[in-house]
Structure 1
Amino acid sequence: MTTQIIRPAVGRAQTGGVDQRKPLRSGLMLAAVVWLAGLVAWQLPGADRFEREVTLPWLFAQRGPLPAPAEATIFAIDSASARRLGLPSRLADWPRRIHADLIGRAAQGRAAVIAVDVYFARARSGDGDAALAGAISDAGNVVLFGNLERQVQDVPGTQAQGQLRVDRLRRPYKPLADAAAAVATFALPKSPTRVDTVWTYHPAMPTLATLPAAAVQVQAGSPSCPAKPQMTRAQRAACDLTVGANERMLNFYGPPRTLNIIPAADVLLGQVPDVAGRAVFIGHVEPYFPNQLDSFLTAVSRPDGLDLSGVEIATTAYLNLLRGESLKPASPGIIAGGLLVGALVLAASSLPLRPVGASVLAVTLAGAAYLAVLTAFGRFHVWLPLAPWWAEVTVALLGTLVLRARDSGRERQQVAAAFRHYLPAHVVERVARETGSAPSQSRPVPLRAVCLISDAAGYTTVSEHLPAAALRELINQYYAALLAPIRVQGGIVTDIVGDSALALWPVRHGGIAQQLRACRAALGIQQALAGFGGGLPTRVGLHVGELVLGPVGALDHYEYRAVGDVVNTASRIEVLNKRLGTQVLASHEVIGSLTGVDCRRVGRFRLAGKTDAVVLYELLAVPVAARPLFEWALDAFAAGDVGAARDAFAEVLATDPGDTVAAFYLASLQGQNDKVPSDGVIVVPK
């Protein structure tokens, strides 16, 4: 078997530039795909329903309830108040004098406007109609609820008989309606089954204000629009009703029972409530799910089934109008533009990163999108769809991984083509895959790797006595045996000169597993060469550290090789085998806390030409005798106890005469009459 020499000569004319337009094209292509994904996620059928039914409740939950605005209070007609006041349990049967008293209490508290979400359809003889009409008239600022009736009418002379639908306001009992400042309906749009919006004016009757809007108008009086800075808040809100959208999104302040609510019994049996300058809404509000009859499913409905009552929704809408806090869906232009900017940012920031970095960035940007949407929602009352942003982040991550895989494949193909005359294809492929970047003829590749250097003992002597042809055959057989364990353990052979080989295990992805593979390869070399008949015992040195793989040379001759202190150190460690009589030595940086490989510490050495000491280990193919005693002797040597160390090493040799390391220490201690060695470090001469 022949082995290729991996020391290429690379001329300067082989180098070339990089097409800078390719990253730009890839970035623009990725940005276009990401933007399209965001637009599709935004405009897909059912996307709006998903945002309303999933994202919107989630945003309200994440924002949390807000403090109840002081500008409105609800007088709650509820079953608990019925029991306390001795009234019928059926709330519709309450005497109208009770409603008159509630309105009177609100008026005494100087309420700015009183909105009654109760429908008084007809007269009730002897039931307080006169008292109620008087209370409404005395207050002067009462808005009564009017029922909305839909009729289907035939259209004469057409084929669409019975297809015309007409909405008509059914006003309350006339004396009550005449006493009121306004009569308003409160029909609610549903999207599609839930209440998310309210109308300011009924869509079929543009002049008919709904209950919240009518309350704003009554409180404002007759302002001269457009709005001016010196106007009251109610006057500005009334002017905004004439120019704003008719359908407004509800910005709920929290789940049911978040607003200021006073039970009717507390209003009537306690002191006059302080509602000066506030709106008072009167309606049915129950604290528990089974008793609430007038209820609507909303984005803030409670998990136990309790929904918002009609009067709570009306009060919320009033507060939104008064405070300018209605939820505003972002315009299509803003969403499309934001998605475009997001796509460009994602493409520009994701492409330069490796998969792990791109994944971390994707998670970070997904969180940033969530925070941006939540901030716009909570602080600026702007509702942005969330799904399109997350769709963009997901597609950007997947697209980055796909493009990097494609580019890596192309780069490896280009490298293989450029270096086919210099490096074996499997070496180029492995380096590109292990380091995450392909080697260039002019640009070195930095990497961290375990470095293995081997050297055949007695090669010079053998070569003196063999013809060139026989030596060539012998060295080929030798390298066949030497390289097999390295390849089995995934090493990359980058340099072969004479009887010496250099192999690397990049540790960028493999970590400690790569160090274990290198150690097993070193032991495998000893096993493979144990029966080699050429008389070439091989020593191995192992170290791990930073190096660069790239062209080295000048003028018209370059060689592609590994360069770095780790290579020099591994070489010095390999040479030390000869002094210690060992076969495989590895540094502490390689061994560390490895398991699965048998080794023993052999001491601290300052290698030739080095300033720092390194702790070395001997890798063992078979267990050694007297290991505990050897360790004790080594510790005594390091502690400076020469006598104890000398005796212990002598005892080790008595137990195992073939222990060359113990013999080395014993020889170094001869003649040292209790002289302490410097820090237990053995200086290896040049």
Structure 2
Amino acid sequence: MLQRLIRPVIIAAIAGSIAGAVSTATDLELPSQDALFRLRGPLPTPEHVVIVAMDEASENQLGVGQDLTRWRAFHAHLIQQLQRQGVKLVVFDLQFIAANPAVDPALAAAMRAAGNVLIGECVQKFRHGAADFFGREECSETNKQTAVALEGDTDAELPEQLVAMRQIRATPEIAAAALDSAPFYLANDAEGSKVREVWTFFDALADAPSLPVLAWTYTRQAAAAFADSGQSGSAWLTERRRDCLAAEDRPAPTGLGADFDKLLCDGDSRYLNYYGPPKTLRMESYADVYSGKIGDLRDKVVFVGRANRQFSPGKTDFFPTPFSDSRTGKMAGVEIMATQFANLSQAAFIEIPMPFWTVSGPFGLAVAGLLNSRRKRRGLLASALLAAGYAGFAVYTFTAWRWWLPLAGPLLVQLPLSWLLALAWSRYDLICERKRLLNFVRQVFPQWATFVPAAPGAWHAERHLPPTRPERDVSGLCLATDIAGYTAIAAQHSPREMWQLLNAYYQVLGHPVISHQGMIADVTGDAMMAIWCELPPAKQKLLACLAALDMAAAVEAFNQATPLAPLATRIGLHQGELTLGRLEAGRTSHYRAIGDTVNTASRIQGVNTPLGTRILATASIAAELEGIVSRPVGSFRVVGRSEPVELVEIVGRGDAEPNPAHSRFAEGLAAFRAGDWFEAIRSLQAALELDADDGPSRFYLQKAVEFRRNPPERWNGVVLLDAK
């Protein structure tokens, strides 16, 4: 028992550890997130988020081309249009780094008058000096300097281990006019890795909040908290973040909600919950908003940024997401920013609810427990079904609760490893069992030791095996069938027609035998012999009777369907000792059932002809057999046997409707066996009045009339049959 408990634990521990190591060392789980997003499909988009896209149509209408600095001349009027609409907040996914004296005063005045405009800050990331530069397009070319150059040592080079980040703010005039500013960093990686996770705080930049977090904070009416501290929103968030990082316990609540406190004090990044493919969020053309064509923006949070909607491949500041493919293209950086803000507003980020081992542990134990069952194939199938169920549960939790449970590790690594480990362990058990068997044989039967394989596959038949017996004696039950009037039927058809008829007939006849665990021992002409052996006696009787009933029903259906003559099949059942063996006939051999039991079964089926029945069996077969309805039909001395056999008719299953004629027949049979011919005739006539087709009643009525006229000299109740 302890072994059966330890084995699943060991298999689960090994497979789970390897799966966890592979998942940690690689990006194995990332494709599974893509699959979960696609299985879940798009979500309803938040109505309060709108993107004003600096798209191709606006480039043509405003004549600005792709130069971002030329757009600045139109931003002041855009802000004024948005204020007329009553928007809640305007967020520019732009960095106003290079001064433009011709338009900056008007833009600053529009921002100052609106009082609800947030702007972005540039973040640059360096490694190896100027060799590796990462930053979004909005950082102007003049600011692409190495961090070393900023320190004045232009000949130095950053070591591989050092990664430097630099924050570049807007021009003083624009920065002073805006409500606030914060960075929003997306790595413009040449490998094109998908954007799944975004920063909430930049701890490497003095704990600065990201621009979506800043925008979300302003929409939560946190101005009172800022005013009390005399700080801007970004400075206040930075200070609260530092308090959380420095405190051993979580600091006092800010009063802005539990989700806000969690954002401040937990990790510095979150997994984005995308609402769908690129351009899923509401997106309006810059030119349409600029000209006043869009009129339903009241209380909306508007994000302004580059978002080419007709052709994004090859464009900068576009990033692949879990929904991206060759059809949908990449997603604009401003839409990713708006997605993060929407996730913050709805508390709808993708969450990893538990560590990998808390999932792989129970999953591995369940799989290993199923594989450790005694029936290995069922355990394998059950473990596969369990894996399918877990995959369905992971899809459901992702859709309903935004939980990202590991899929690739448990299903692609842990499950196959568990199968292999269970298979190897089973092989080891088999080898150990063979060794124990060999040791036992060597001790008890040393003369047989050379014939026992020490390992699977080590058996060699040529190693002087002892002779095998070609026969065996068993106690079994025989079922014999025969076709009434077969000779006359065969005379009416060609051999080819009879072959086709019998070929279909024996397929119908053999199926009930096989389905009830019987064995077809012989087929000769129109007769078939089936046997049941090596089963408990009661089960043999029940299975043989059920097979006989199914055969009778199948032949009846067959006769209705065949265009040739119907084959009236008689069935006889008898049990006793018999021999199963191979009979040598020249160069061929035949496997047969041999003995008096076989012959008697064949004679019993012949009794069906005078009685007008279909299935007859010796009385011992149906005695106390539940689920089978039978009735006694008398004692007969069949041809070739000196001892009479007591026979019963197998009428049907236990749920068969009772036939009232059978009780009157039983009265008539009792009177017949007692030699009371007058009473027998009366009862049997009454039975025929109830069922004119009852063959045994007709047979015994004829016999009773005959015996009343010519009584037998010595009557013992046994009917003598002089024909097969």
**TM-score bucket of the superposed structures, by smaller chain:** 0.5 to 0.7
For the residues of structure 1 that align with 2:82 and 2:698, how far apart are their CA atoms? 98
CA, structure 1 residues 278+227, in 2 after alignment: closer, same or farther (shift >3 Å)? farther
Are 2:109 and 1:134 aligned? yes
Residues 216, 238 of structure 1: 8 Å contact kept: no
Q: AA paired with 2:407? A: L
Aligned twin of 2:530: 542
For the residues of structure 2 that align with 1:399 and 1:678, how far apart are their CA atoms? 66
Q: AA paired with 1:389? A: P
Residues 197, 247 of structure 1: 8 Å contact kept: yes
For the residues of structure 1 that align with 2:81 and 2:305, how far apart are their CA atoms? 15
CA, structure 1 residues 387+31, in 2 after alignment: closer, same or farther (shift >3 Å)? farther
Q: AA paired with 1:565? A: L
Q: AA paired with 2:530? A: L
- Structure with higher Rg: it is 2
For the residues of structure 2 that align with 1:414 and 1:604, how far apart are their CA atoms? 54
Q: Answer 1 or 2: higher relative contact order, Cα 8 Å, separation at least 6.
A: 1
CA, structure 1 residues 111+382, in 2 after alignment: closer, same or farther (shift >3 Å)? same
For the residues of structure 2 that align with 1:117 and 1:250, how far apart are their CA atoms? 18
Are 2:219 and 1:219 aligned? yes
Are 2:45 and 1:68 aligned? yes
Are 2:297 and 1:321 aligned? no
Question: In the alignment, which of 331, 340, 344 is matched to residue 361 of structure 2?
Answer: 340
Residues 148, 156 of structure 2: 8 Å contact kept: no
Q: CA deviation at 1:679?
A: 7.3
Q: CA deviation at 1:203?
A: 3.6
Aligned twin of 2:35: 58
For the residues of structure 2 that align with 1:570 and 1:398, how far apart are their CA atoms? 50
Residues 78, 91 of structure 1: 8 Å contact kept: no
For the residues of structure 2 that align with 1:276 and 1:339, how far apart are their CA atoms? 49
Deviations 1:43-100 (A, max 9, x none): 1277541211x111111111111111123211111112333x3433325264434222
Residues 115, 215 of structure 1: 8 Å contact kept: yes
Aligned twin of 1:199: 199
Are 2:57 and 1:80 aligned? yes
Residues 77, 285 of structure 1: 8 Å contact kept: yes
Aligned twin of 1:571: 574
Deviations 1:173-227 (A, max 9, x none): 3321210122222222579833221112334212432221222233343465778
Residues 613, 681 of structure 1: 8 Å contact kept: no
For the residues of structure 2 that align with 1:516 and 1:276, how far apart are their CA atoms? 78
Residues 478, 530 of structure 2: 8 Å contact kept: no
Question: In the alignment, which of 94, 109, 127 is matched to residue 118 of structure 1?
Answer: 94
Question: In the alignment, which of 274, 297, 316 is matched to residue 293 of structure 1?
Answer: 316
Are 2:617 and 1:607 aligned? yes
Residues 496, 502 of structure 1: 8 Å contact kept: no
For the residues of structure 2 that align with 1:103 and 1:61, how far apart are their CA atoms? 37
Aligned twin of 1:105: 81
Aligned twin of 2:147: 152
CA, structure 1 residues 403+145, in 2 after alignment: closer, same or farther (shift >3 Å)? same
Q: CA deviation at 1:122?
A: 2.5
Q: Aligned to 1:383, what secondary structure does the other structure show?
A: coil
Aligned twin of 2:6: 28
Q: AA paired with 1:31? A: V
Alignment of 1:506-655 (within 5 A): 521-523=521-523, 541-542=529-530, 549=535, 564-566=541-543, 571=574, 574=598, 575-579=600-604, 604-609=614-619, 610=622, 612=629
Q: AA paired with 1:168? A: R
Structure 2 portions without partners, runs of 5+: 127-145, 226-239, 241-250, 453-467, 480-509, 546-571, 576-596, 623-627, 632-687, 701-717, 720-724
Residues 196, 298 of structure 1: 8 Å contact kept: yes
Alignment of 1:155-174 (within 5 A): 162-163=158-159, 166-174=164-172
CA, structure 1 residues 317+679, in 2 after alignment: closer, same or farther (shift >3 Å)? farther
Structure 1 portions without partners, runs of 5+: 1-20, 430-478, 484-492, 504-509, 528-538, 553-560, 586-601, 615-671
Residues 318, 333 of structure 2: 8 Å contact kept: yes
Question: In the alignment, which of 673, 678, 684 is matched to residue 694 of structure 2?
Answer: 678
Q: CA deviation at 1:577?
A: 0.7
Q: AA paired with 1:141? A: N
For the residues of structure 2 that align with 1:520 and 1:269, how far apart are their CA atoms? 91
Residues 367, 418 of structure 2: 8 Å contact kept: yes
Deviations 1:537-581 (A, max 9, x none): xx984156xx8846x9xxxxxxxx985534688535942312557
Give the fraction of aligned pairs with identical amino acids, expressed as a percent.
Answer: 23
Q: CA deviation at 1:408?
A: 7.5
Residues 478, 574 of structure 2: 8 Å contact kept: no
Q: CA deviation at 1:309?
A: 0.6
Question: In the alignment, which of 264, 287, 296 is matched to residue 265 of structure 1?
Answer: 287
Residues 91, 117 of structure 2: 8 Å contact kept: yes
Residues 181, 218 of structure 1: 8 Å contact kept: no
Q: CA deviation at 1:156?
A: 10
Are 2:173 and 1:175 aligned? yes
CA, structure 1 residues 502+404, in 2 after alignment: closer, same or farther (shift >3 Å)? farther
For the residues of structure 2 that align with 1:271 and 1:100, how far apart are their CA atoms? 17
Aligned twin of 1:661: none
Question: In the alignment, which of 87, 92, 117 is matched to residue 68 of structure 2?
Answer: 92
For the residues of structure 1 that align with 2:72 and 2:63, how far apart are their CA atoms? 11
Aligned twin of 2:133: none
Q: Aligned to 2:38, what secondary structure does the other structure show?
A: helix
For the residues of structure 1 that align with 2:267 and 2:387, how far apart are their CA atoms? 32
Q: AA paired with 2:45? A: A
Q: Aligned to 1:68, what secondary structure does the other structure show?
A: coil
Residues 23, 409 of structure 2: 8 Å contact kept: no
For the residues of structure 2 that align with 1:283 and 1:156, how far apart are their CA atoms? 34
RMSD: 4.8
Residues 56, 299 of structure 1: 8 Å contact kept: yes
CA, structure 1 residues 107+540, in 2 after alignment: closer, same or farther (shift >3 Å)? same
Q: Aligned to 1:384, what secondary structure does the other structure show?
A: coil
User: How does the TM-score come out when normalised to structure 1?
Assistant: 0.59
For the residues of structure 2 that align with 1:501 and 1:357, how far apart are their CA atoms? 33
For the residues of structure 2 that align with 1:681 and 1:186, how far apart are their CA atoms? 101
CA, structure 1 residues 265+109, in 2 after alignment: closer, same or farther (shift >3 Å)? same
Alignment of 1:227-246 (within 5 A): 231=256, 238-246=260-268
CA, structure 1 residues 109+32, in 2 after alignment: closer, same or farther (shift >3 Å)? farther
For the residues of structure 1 that align with 2:283 and 2:697, how far apart are their CA atoms? 83
Deviations 1:473-514 (A, max 9, x none): xxxxxx977x3xxxxxxxxx5x437xx8999xxxxxx99996
Q: CA deviation at 1:120?
A: 2.6
For the residues of structure 2 that align with 1:406 and 1:30, how far apart are their CA atoms? 15
